[in-house]
Chain A
Amino acid sequence: GQNIDQPTEMTATEGAIVQINCTYQTSGFNGLFWYQQHAGEAPTFLSYNVLDGLEEKGRFSSFLSRSKGYSYLLLKELQMKDSASYLCAVRDPLNRDDKIIFGKGTRLHILP
């Protein structure tokens, strides 16, 4: 089966740093995505990790540990526009379709 867990909501202050954790238990694994989604809009790609370690991209970094089934998204120098939902998603290679399964998402609230 598939199980992807992340906190439902988080609150942080403008200018601060926040880490959003994601744990997964899936039948197969072929990479982990992080997406940002504002209400009523399509998800926006943030990062993709397939090997263990940290990937840094500007204010956003993503970490993966395949042995622990664990990933986190780190957001630095938070801005008000970062208020959004952040979706952790695992790529499942167990069928030829290579589908992406999403976690429930973390709603991040940024306070001034």
Chain B
Amino acid sequence: GAVVSQHPSWVICKSGTSVKIECRSLDFQATTMFWYRQFPKQSLMLMATSNEGSKATYEQGVEKDKFLINHASLTLSTLTVTSAHPEDSSFYICSARDWTGTGGNYGYTFGSGTRLTVV
């Protein structure tokens, strides 16, 4: 079935620095990538949607200049948390939309998540 490789699994960074998270679709083309954030004991909150070759669409309340999304190819999308602060510490997870539907899970495949801790 479809697999999305997400890296890094965890990262600790200093306040004020930037962190890049990568999601790569293996064996299928992810024309759409969804980025979620999850705080402890809470559910997944959609941050933004990216389509290959176009600008990302951000959900209300999500700062587009802080969370930079790049989806330059059909197999790679990145989320960069710029000038990170402790309140950005969270679990970030991507979900790739497989429009062919051949990858299983009815076309939505999640990465394994990235635990970001900002100190």
Whether the Cβ atoms of B108 and A100 lie closer than 8 Å is yes
Whether the Cβ atoms of A42 and B110 lie closer than 8 Å is yes
Q: Judge if B51 is at the interface, Cβ distance under 8 Å.
A: yes
The residues of A that contact B44 with a CB separation of less than 8 Å are 43, 87, 102
Within the complex, what minimum Cβ distance (angstroms) separates A104 from chain B? 5
Q: Judge if B57 is at the interface, Cβ distance under 8 Å.
A: yes
Contact with B along A45-62 (1 / 0, CB 8 A): 100100000000000000
Whether the Cβ atoms of B112 and A33 lie closer than 8 Å is no
- Looking across the interface, which residue of chain B has its beta carbon closest to that of A85? B43
Contact with A along B108-119 (1 / 0, CB 8 A): 101111010000
Within the complex, what minimum Cβ distance (angstroms) separates B58 from chain A? 12
The residues of B that contact A105 with a CB separation of less than 8 Å are 42-43
Contact with A along B61-104 (1 / 0, CB 8 A): 00000000000000000000000000000010101010000001
Within the complex, what minimum Cβ distance (angstroms) separates B111 from chain A? 6
Q: Judge if B32 is at the interface, Cβ distance under 8 Å.
A: yes
The residues of B that contact A104 with a CB separation of less than 8 Å are 42-43
CB < 8 Å neighbour of A97 from B57, B93, B110, B113: B57
CA of A41 to CA of B57, assembled, Å: 25
The residues of A that contact B42 with a CB separation of less than 8 Å are 104-105
Within the complex, what minimum Cβ distance (angstroms) separates A23 from chain B? 15
Within the complex, what minimum Cβ distance (angstroms) separates B39 from chain A? 11
Q: Judge if A98 is at the interface, Cβ distance under 8 Å.
A: yes
Within the complex, what minimum Cβ distance (angstroms) separates B60 from chain A? 11
- Looking across the interface, which residue of chain A has its beta carbon closest to that of B42? A104
A87/B43 contact (C-beta < 8 A), A98-B97, A99-B34 known = yes
CA of A68 to CA of B27, assembled, Å: 39
Interface residues of A in 58-112 (CB under 8 A from B): 85, 87, 97-105, 107
Within the complex, what minimum Cβ distance (angstroms) separates A107 from chain B? 7
The residues of A that contact B105 with a CB separation of less than 8 Å are 45
CB < 8 Å neighbour of B113 from A31, A42, A102, A107: A42
Taking beta carbons and an 8 Å cutoff, which residues of B are in contact with A? 32, 34, 36, 41-46, 49, 51, 57, 91, 93, 95, 97, 104-106, 108, 110-113, 115
